[in-house]
Structure 1
């Protein structure tokens, strides 16, 4: 666990240093809390999740780049660390590119690669999608294929509403395929003339193969640098992490 915390702390420290290093970078740092109600095969359980996270977008030569990272603690017990690197190029009013990332804890490591794209429509709406392949090889050997999309609507420069939908299928040695669906909604509001915002969301995940479903309510606080919430989004600083795509993290 100490190795995981050290690695994730280094990522978050990098994100923070980028704020002071260049006024041209765009991104955020934040803290989140989530409460999950899990129903698996008729057994109910509650899980509290605490997270520190951040992301920064910058230029990498002729390409755009984003690095995001997170430290996540589950119920005061297990802690995981995750990071994702994105590289992309502008296409019209959007971008296309790829990503590679991983999330690791004492018990399991999930890594993955994939493609993603974003289209900014009519100045108020952004469409974002990602698809990729992931692998787990600690406790068991498993392949994961996943796809996920978001619709983001900006009522104002600093008020964002988001809807998301995702699907993942896991193929493990000696186990039949496990399919999982997830859907969520989120709102973020940045206070006038400040870089500070609050975020709240709800996510639902369901797997008939496991006879399991989970409902998560989350709240958070963020510091945005480099512009408004809309600037952060349309610059390519709000791309989804590998953890979010493959389901390794519960709240990000």
Structure 2
């Protein structure tokens, strides 16, 4: 556990150092707790999940770039590390680009690449979508194909409501399986401070695997460089490999 906490602190320190290095950066660091309830054909499994996470957006020449990272500690001692990098260009008041990343633990490593983009449907409503391909050699030779979308509405610059939905297909040496997930999230930043509270819920269901799960999440964030709305629309809130291929089980 001590090793995991040091790793989490390193993620926070890295992202925080970008603030001092470049005044144009914007992003956040945070931590959250989740309770996962998984129902399988073999029985039910419940577990606690602790996570340190962060993201930073910066200029890369004429392009926009962002990096998000996570350190996730699961009940029972397993720990996963995730990082996803994005490059994109502005299109009107939105952006479009691509990403590549990895989610890895002692037992499983998933690599992923894809495309994503976000656009404003209205002054206070934004849609974000990502689609990608992933692979792991740890479950035979498994290929993943996934799409995911988020609809974000800002009641104010520092109060966001968000809904998400996704579909995942896995092609393995042992057969194929697919599943879908939906989620909801709210984030509120306290007036006059950079601190916010986040609550969320995700549901995943797969008939092929005879598995479904419910994950409840609460956490806190420190946002730098602007408001929640500024942070999101700059490209500092783009999806990760874990979100795309984790199907709501990992964030």
| Cα separation, partners in 2 of 1:18 and 1:249, compared to 1, 3 Å | farther
Post-superposition offset of 1:204: 0.3
CA contact (8 A) 2:26 2:58 kept: yes
Q: 1:133 maps to which residue?
A: 133
Q: 2:201 maps to which residue?
A: 202
CA contact (8 A) 2:88 2:98 kept: yes
CA offsets per residue over residues 209-245 of structure 1, 9 Å max, x none? Answer: 0111000000010000011000001111110011100
CA offsets per residue over residues 155-213 of structure 1, 9 Å max, x none? Answer: 0110000000000000111x221101000000000000110000000100000001110
Runs of 4+ more than 6 Å apart: 1-8
In the alignment, structure 1 residue 107 sits paired with structure 2 residue 77 = no
Q: Give distance in 2, aligned partners of 1:9 and 1:194.
A: 22
CA contact (8 A) 1:118 1:126 kept: yes
RMSD of equivalent CA atoms:
1.9
| Cα separation, partners in 2 of 1:135 and 1:183, compared to 1, 3 Å | same
Q: Give distance in 2, aligned partners of 1:215 and 1:122.
A: 31
Q: 2:46 maps to which residue?
A: 46
TM-score (norm 1): 0.95
Q: Give distance in 2, aligned partners of 1:189 and 1:216.
A: 20
CA contact (8 A) 1:197 1:221 kept: yes
Q: Give distance in 2, aligned partners of 1:176 and 1:141.
A: 11
What secondary structure does 2:80 align onto?
strand
CA contact (8 A) 1:34 1:251 kept: no
Of 17-26 and 90-99, more deviation after overlay is shown by 17-26
How many residues are treated as equivalent by the alignment? 251
Query: Structure 1 stretches of 5 or more lacking a match?
Result: none
In the alignment, structure 1 residue 250 sits paired with structure 2 residue 249 = yes
What secondary structure does 1:236 align onto?
helix
